[in-house]
Structure 1
Amino acid sequence: MTGPDGGRTLTQTHDETDGDTERPGQAAPAPVPVDEPPRPDRIRRPSDAIRFAASLAGLAGIMLLVSIGQQTTHGLQTDIAEGTAHAPRFLLTLATLASSFGVLAVPVTFAVERLFRKDGTRVAIGLLAAVIAFAVTLLLDDWVISAAPGGVLDSLIWGGTETAPVHTDIAPVIAFVSAVGMAGRARWQAATWTMIGLAALTGLTASYASVAALVATYFLGRAIGHGTLYAVGTPNPRPPGSTVCAALERIGLRAVRARWLPGEPDDVRRYGVQIAHAPGAVPTDTSGVALPRGDWQLEVAVLDRDQQTAGVLYRVWRLVRLREAAPRRPVRSLRRSLEQESLMAYAVDAAGARTPRLVGTSEVGTEAALMAYEYVPGTRLDALPDEAVTDALLTDVWGQLRRLQSARLAHRRLEGGAILVSEEGRAYLTDLRSGEIAAGDLALRLDLAQLLTTLALRVGPERAVRTAAAVLGEQALAGAVPLLQRVALSRDTRAALRTHRDLLTRIREQIVRMEPESEAPPIRLERFRPRTLLSIVALTLAAYIVIPQLSSVDPVRLVAGASWWWVGVALGAAAVTYLAAAFMLMGFVPERLPLGRTVLVQVAASFVKLVAPAAVSGVALNTRYLQRSGVRPGPAVASVGASQLMGMVMHILLLILFGFITGSTGNATRDLAPSRTIVIVLLALAVLTAVALTIPKVRRFVAGRMRAMFSGVVPRLVDVLQSPRKIVTGLGGTLLLTVGFVVCLDASIRAFGGSLPWTAVVVVFLTANAVGSAAPTPGGLGAVETALTVALTISGLTAETATSAVLLYRLLTLWLPVLPGWAAFAYLQRKEAI
């Protein structure tokens, strides 16, 4: 059937929805011609992917828990066994019989019931998930886990070797239940999970199952069930347009025809609907209010239940990352979403702001809900031609925002797609689903910052600020200046700012020209930065690796067995590194620097690097010191950059040289850094670099960074090369710095009776130092310890000797200098040297 616009029209009726929505004796609504794209038979729901990921995280968590707290899991199992031993045998026998029969009978009965409801596809998906779960559990029980005993396995199979780490009888049932879906069927859910719980209890009382194994089985079954459901796809539960029109008739709006409106957000379907009325009569809604004449009288937004979790991970990330006075819920139920948008629509209309009038709301079966708005013909602001975006239109948009802010309403999505411009040139605010009533000052100012940026992207910062000031006042705009940050804006706006990098700065400049006192530092909106999160993850992983190694070290024997002569040598070598770092900096600065104060700055850096990555803290402190010493900011940054660049070049050359020497000696360290491996790695890096440079964005980024670096560093190096004394000082300091750390590490090894060829110690230090510089943790914490311990163990030291040497080395180079570093930092601050 062809619709009025030549598209394909579907005339499905209400009978084609899920069987649970049918009611005996209810007449099917008359078919309504709906022009919409064909509905897919199957969809992949974001909620299934999220549950799959959550189940995998739970499985990983229980594995981590039992590997760390084996004694705790064994103790818990013992307590359960002793407690159930006193339970009446009759009840335990009854539970065993019930679970043995019911754990399979209840799911089978449910499957038969679904088949009678003509829902065989869902049952087939559940059976597929059960088969996959059965195969996976067999594989884990017979092959994988049995090939790697110890640790986690011992905790999972508490009770004897006949116990399976994951349980084949329960996992397929859990996978079937997860995939077949029992949402809204409380009795079936209660019966099924009761049988699964009784089966688990039977396993615990009979001592052939552990708590850890049962929890692992639960998460494994859930992961397989939801993973299968997402991979295969679920039968499309979204009601078609004809069912939406039938729901409209239940609230007194009889649809004559409807058309799907393209170009809307993926998680909201919208239809233009023409409603019936007597010839010559004016159509009205259920309250008797006249509706506008035209082709379409209603715009119906359909909220599908399966789309309520779309983008939930991004919303959770924003909720956790941003500081907001009233954090929004990242996930809302269908009913909550319907109530939220309805409340905002009524509140915006009551505030006098212009928005399409909400005519009615209704549920559409059990899987969707609708909101019927007055249809306003027009164009979204982001699709409007440039010549149509006049100052009068901008003033009207700012007027709508002023009404919202006066009523303490926050829109939260003031992008170009949320502003509808009618055929008469008037602005309407739409997309109210994220709005807030009784909003706080921060939310209102964020709205202002978002709209400023949205309009500035369209018409430029000058016109956006000028029209806003005419409506809101200069003082109101001044309040938005601290919030003009990328992190405060929507995702689409941040993406658009990538091609307008200076736009926020230009907006601030325009406001400051009007209100000079508005120049204020940005408000910190982030709870943490992504680098902070990366640091936390890195420290957690490092602690997981390092702490088990520390547990094998006896501190008393460590102190008593150490050779204090070598400890003194290591301490002296560590002290020499600060003198070497001072020489390294002084050699690349043409200006004269006092040696004593420069050494103090390097000592102070040992305190600063505990709160920031080592590479960042050293650069910042040295740059600040040079500026206080009279060096201009540009040359100061260039001098520090030159010293860092030469240090990196020297580090790479030494690593290649000693890696080649070490790999050619044929000793026990050949597996650490053989020359052939180094050549292969270098060739692979060269190939990857060449491939990356073929990408225009990567090439422009690298070219920009190289241009910025060499524009200042190269002239600075030229100045240094004119003085042989400076060259010797700089390069000598670079070499002395490496020698000091190598001697400190070697003396730390010898202090505990260990011994390695000096070439191997050099390679170990250079490798670990590179890892520590790249790590985002303060002072390379965790990364350096792990790299050093692993490298020394590979080189031939015992695990205990390697761990002890690393602890002493890090004590002398990281922890012991903290107190002197703090004193040096405070002294330099008092003297205004930094």
Structure 2
Amino acid sequence: MTRTSGETGTARPGQGAPPGVPVDEPPRPDRIRRSSDGIKFAVCCALLAAVMLLVSIAQQTTHGLQTDIAEGTAHAPRLLLTLATLASSFGVLAVPVAFAVERLFHKDGTRVAIALLAAAIAFLVTIGLDDLVVPSAPGGVLDSLIWGGTSTAPVHTDIAPVIAFVTAVGMAGRARWQAATWTMIGLAALTGLTAAYASVAALGATYLLGRAIGYGTLYAVGTPNPRPSGAAVVATLERLGLRPVRAVHLGDAAAGGGAREARRYGVVLAPSPACEDAEPARRPARDGEPERARGEWDLEVRVLDRDQQTAGLLYRIWRLLRLRGPATGEALRSLRRSLEQESLMAYAVDAAGARTPRLLGTAEVGTEAALLAYEHVPGRRLGDVPAAEVTDDLLTDVWRQFRRLQAGRLAHRRLEDGVVVVGDGDGRAYVTDLRSGETAAGDLALRLDLAQLLTTLALRAGPERAVRTAAEVLGEEALAAAVPLLQRVALSRATRAELRHQKDLLTRIREQIVRLKPETEAAPVRLERFRPRTIFSIVALSVAAYIVIPQVASLDIAHLVSTATWWWVAVALGAAALTYLAAAFMLMGFVPERLPLWRTFLAQVAASFVKLVAPAAVGGVAINTRYLQRSGVRPGPAVASVGASQLVGMAVHILLLVLFGFLSGSSANATRDLAPSRTIVIAVLVLGLVAGIALTIPKVRRIVTARIGSLFSGVVPRLVDVLQSPRKLATGLGGTLLLTLAFVVCLDASIRAFGGSLPWTSVVVVYLTANALGNAAPTPGGLGAVEGALTLALTISGLTAETATSAVLLYRLLTLWLPVLPGWAAFAYLQRKEAI
């Protein structure tokens, strides 16, 4: 820690401190790297690539635009164009130079030096692009940016360095300089267009390149630290009418969950003479709370820095895009907006009667920061309070403060254990850290706050105590409204990290609330616009379309229909229908309870409809689990039964793949490329080696141990129950083998329907391989993965591309698309009968 003093002579307002006021704070770095510069650099690079791509795609349109501009400027008065050329030729350099000189007089030479470095880099880059890279390129860059005009350059060498300089030097808050500089740059660009020196696309690329180099230089070198010192903070407090005598830097408020950071100072005020009115009056105590004893600090000052407003920006943008509007706050606020929002929230919370540190004043500190001075409340964060001291009285008091926030329609949005402070003098709860708050909040935002606080207190005191004390204060109806919102995605980032160690906590909270109010509707509210797996699905579908559509487009559908052997099509259709009966037997065999065959069959048909909105391995499991629960099987055994059927199915699948891989490799007629026995052995050895190496990693070993533990705790006991009934075991294994046989017959009949033929061992291996990929793919019904794997495997096995593609299309039509309508009917019927 270093000690600084405000004895700086005649400092500018906001930059000095009252004489003799010591400030303890760590050394301030001369330069800082701002995340906003890195983000802007990446955005400019992406936009530059987009311009290049757009121009290369829409060459005719851009060429027409360039022609129209040339014709329009031909009719402009030559005198005006000449004056604009003269003004831009002189002003495009003169204005930035004048601004640099002005900055040097204000002892801001470091910023000017960085800007000159950015200009030099931009000049070298543009010269290199124009003279070296583009001429040696195979015509693409030059043609795309010029559209045929060899006299023009792809990058405007004159203004790119100026744009980089302006970007790096920073003109925020200097409107006149900004207007003059960009006017000169605009005139220079106009001159380039009229003289055919540069095209519209070239000017766009020049602007983005200059901006990218400016921001990149700032991020690489760092910018002069604009954050005010502790001395400047103390001087600002003096202007607010406060009388600081000592200040200490308390550290930075962590930006948990992507929230904006703030620096904190503890400040001691001078005692006021009785005749003076300098010390602000304190608010009266509420609810019988004792007068607050004066702690070590009188004030806690939060300093908002402009450069820290972008802290966690990418995370906030991701949340903004992923979650629906009321479920997230603003992605980016200006410094003024942040100051006003927190101030309004502080006054509103105090007016609502909730305990919170009193806001004594706000002010800007120079042009790059602002502060909020709060009355200091000596205490500990709830997360730092020992478990023995987290009593029911304390939890009840927290809920009372929360009830007042809710009554005032105030959403805190970050009710973590760090924002609840337990006072040292009175042991009561105070709500702090209001930077993300929202006034006049809607119902969804208030319910999200309730879900967040329930989870926070359950992490500290357990679900039973958190729910019980909440019910005493808020009532059972209010708690029931939070059940649909008890989702990980609705909680803050810090809370989600804590839930990794208590993965069943949200379920336990829901169970406690349902016990209080059994009629509670537990269906979750849809907060997400999309889920991460949706992105994977879109990518996979795009790849599938890229692979499959050209193949389908090359087919003569009329010829295929006229030449197909229809009785083989009928066989394939019958085999596809048999798969649902086999799946029903498979499920019934692994459930000790008795299940009706017809409804179980309909549940498998309904699962074919769900496949269109969920991955293949997920939709069937969800439907079967729901069906078993509606049939009277308890949730735990229902999940275990479905898991047992899936486990046995996977084991049988692997055994059949290895068996038929050996048979296919030993067959004289089988292809050597698909599954020869040597390849199977090598693959097994490689997988075993990879698994062995992976298990040497402690984290992987813990995950595997946890998964195996959960498997043996639920699925294996269910299998033991099934083994005690030979009839059930025969039904389950028979259904598993029949399911595989039916799919193989369907695929083989689809191949023969178009005149193809393969050894049956090869068909089995092809099906087993493609089915494994389809279950692993995150796309609905394994779309893309199954088609691509089947087509490739059948082609390797010896079929022509046309026959393989036709057979795959027929097979997927019968097993995926044709059952959709019957599946929807079965789904609706079972829902109406309350069977799922």
TM-score by length of 1: 0.81
What residue identity is the alignment partner of 2:573?
A: A
Report how far residue 741 of structure 1 moved. 3.4
How is 1:716-727 mapped onto 2 (pairs within 5 angstroms)? none
SS in 2 for 1:640: helix
Match of residue 737, structure 1, among 737, 743, 747 = 743
Equivalent residue of 2:183, what SS?
Answer: helix
Quickly say closer, same or farther: Cα 1:813–1:228, change in 2 above 3 A.
Answer: farther
Contact 1:43–1:234 (CA under 8 A) maintained in structure 2: yes
Greater alpha carbon shift after TM alignment, 224-233 vs 592-601: 592-601
Which residue of 1 is the match for residue 287 of structure 2? none
**Change over 3 Å in CA distance of 1:456–1:166 after alignment to 2:** same
* Equivalent of residue 641 in structure 1, options 643, 646, 650: 646
Q: Cα offset for 1:387?
A: 4.0
Which residue matches 1:3?
A: none
2:568 and 2:753 in contact (8 A); partners too: yes
Partners of 1:630 and 1:423 lie apart in 2 by 54
**Partner residue, 2:336:** 335
Counterpart for residue 546 of structure 1? 545
Q: CA deviation at 1:124?
A: 3.3
Matches within 5 A, 1:452-463: 452-463=454-465
Q: Does the alignment pair 1:535 with 2:538?
A: no
1:119 to partner: Cα distance:
2.5
Partner of 2:415: 414
Gaps of 5+ in 1: 1-6
Deviations 1:420-462 (A, max 9, x none): 2223223322112222223333333333333333223223334
**Counterpart position of 1:694:** 696
For 1:259-658, what aligned pairs fall within 5 Å after superposition? Answer: 259-262=248-251, 264-265=253-254, 267-277=261-271, 284-285=278-279, 295-323=296-324, 325=326, 328-425=329-426, 426-513=428-515, 515-517=516-518, 519-531=520-532, 534-536=533-535, 538-539=537-538, 542-543=541-542, 546=545, 550=549, 558-560=556-558, 562=560, 564-566=562-564, 568=566, 571=569, 575=573, 578-579=576-577, 581-582=579-580, 585=583, 588=586, 591=589, 604-621=606-623, 633=638, 636-638=641-643, 640-642=645-647, 644-646=649-651, 648-649=653-654, 653=658
The question of whether the paired residues in 1 share the 8 Å contact of 2:272 and 2:278 is answered with no
- Tell me whether 172-181 or 69-78 shows the greater mean CA deviation: 69-78
Amino acid at match of 1:193: W
- Distance in 1 separating the partners of 2:701 and 2:270: 61
What is the Cα deviation at residue 637 of structure 1?
0.5
Whole-angstrom distance in 2 between the partners of 1:337 and 1:476: 31
Q: Is the 8 A contact 2:16 2:231 kept in 1?
A: no
Q: Distance in 2 between matches of 1:126 and 1:567?
A: 75
Q: Give the superposition deviation at 1:239.
A: 0.4
Structure-2 change in CA distance of 1:454 and 1:615 (3 Å): closer
Of 706, 711, 715, the match for 1:712? 715
> 1:230 and 1:184 mapped to 2: Cα distance?
21
Is the Cα contact below 8 Å between 1:324 and 1:525 reproduced in 2?
no
Alpha-carbon distance between aligned partners in 1 of 2:759 and 2:9, rounded to the nearest angstrom: 82
Aligned with 2:242: secondary structure? Answer: coil
How far does residue 244 in structure 1 lie from its aligned partner after superposition?
A: 0.5
Question: How many angstroms does 1:163 deviate by?
Answer: 5.9
Matched to 1:45, the amino acid is R
Contact in 2 for aligned 1:59/1:219 (Cα 8 Å): yes
SS across alignment from 2:234: helix
2:355 touches 2:429 (CA, 8 Å); kept in 1?
A: yes
Deviation at 1:417, TM superposition (A): 1.8
SS in 1 for 2:545: helix
Answering whether residue 27 of structure 2 is matched by residue 38 of structure 1, we say yes
Deviation at 1:301, TM superposition (A): 1.4
Shift of the alpha carbon at 1:492? Answer: 1.7
Compute the displacement of 1:302 (Å): 1.1
1:229 is paired with a residue of what secondary structure? helix
After TM superposition, give the deviation of residue 346 of structure 1 in Å: 1.8
For residue 218 of structure 1, what is the aligned residue in structure 2? 207
1:253 is aligned to 2:256: no
CA positional deviation for 1:35: 0.7
Q: Distance in 1 between matches of 2:345 and 2:401?
A: 14
Distance 2:142 2:374 in 1: 60
Describe the superposition over 1:660-717 as per-residue Cα deviations: whole angstroms up to 9, x where unpaired.
799x9999xx7x9999998887776555544443343432322232344465265489
| Helix, strand or coil at the partner of 2:398 | helix
* Correspondent of 1:159 among 132, 136, 148: 148
Q: State whether residues 627 and 636 of structure 1, in contact with CA within 8 Å, keep that contact through their aligned partners in structure 2.
A: no
CA distance in 2, matches of 1:796, 1:156: 48
Aligned 8 A contact 2:5 2:19 in 1: no
State the SS of the aligned residue for 1:480.
helix
Cα shift at 1:335: 1.2
Contact kept in structure 2, 1:338 and 1:369, CA below 8 Å: yes
Deviation string, structure 1 residues 281-309 (Cα, Å, up to 9, x no partner)? 78733679999856532222111111112
Task: Tell me the distance in 1 between the aligned counterparts of 2:211 and 2:769.
Answer: 43
Distance in 1 (CA, whole Å) between partners of 2:142 and 2:565 is 42
Q: What amino acid maps onto 2:740 in structure 1?
A: T
Q: Distance in 2 between matches of 1:288 and 1:729?
A: 77
1:4 corresponds in structure 2 to none
Instruction: Give the drift of 1:258.
Output: 0.9
Distance in structure 2 (CA, Å) of the matches to 1:273 and 1:368:
18
Alignment partner, residue 53 of structure 1: 42
Q: Matched residues in 2 for 1:292 and 1:812: separation?
A: 78
Specify the SS of the correspondent of 2:263: strand
User: What's the secondary structure of 2:248's corresponding residue?
Assistant: strand
Q: Is the 8 A contact 2:6 2:20 kept in 1?
A: yes
Aligned AA (1:539): I
Contact kept? 1:324, 1:442, Cα under 8 Å:
no
Q: In the comparison of the two structures, how many residue pairs are matched?
A: 812
Query: In percent, how many aligned pairs have the same letter?
Result: 64
Aligned residue runs from structure 1 range 230-249, under 5 A? 230-249=219-238
Letter in 1 for 2:267: V
Distance change in 2, residues 1:83/1:806 (3 Å) = farther
- Tell me the TM-score normalised to structure 2 length: 0.81
Q: 1:655 to 1:333 in 2, by over 3 A?
A: farther
8 Å CA contact 1:11–1:34 kept in 2: the answer is: yes
CA shift digits 1:48-87 (9 cap, x unpaired):
2332333344345445545665554455445445544544
Deviations 1:201-259 (A, max 9, x none): 44545556454454344334433332332233222110010011111111222322211
Q: Per the alignment, in what secondary structure is the counterpart of residue 114 of structure 1?
A: helix
Amino acid paired to 2:371? L
Give the partner amino acid of 1:403: R
Give how far 1:365 is off.
0.2
Q: CA deviation at 1:355?
A: 1.9
**Structure 1 residue 541: deviation in Å?**
6.8
Aligned alpha-carbon RMSD (Å): 4.9
C-alpha distance in structure 2 between counterparts of 1:233 and 1:223, whole Å: 15
Alignment-derived partner of residue 777 in structure 1? 779
Q: Go from structure 1 to structure 2 and tell me whether the alpha carbon gap of 1:601 and 1:92 turns closer, same or farther (over 3 Å shift).
A: farther
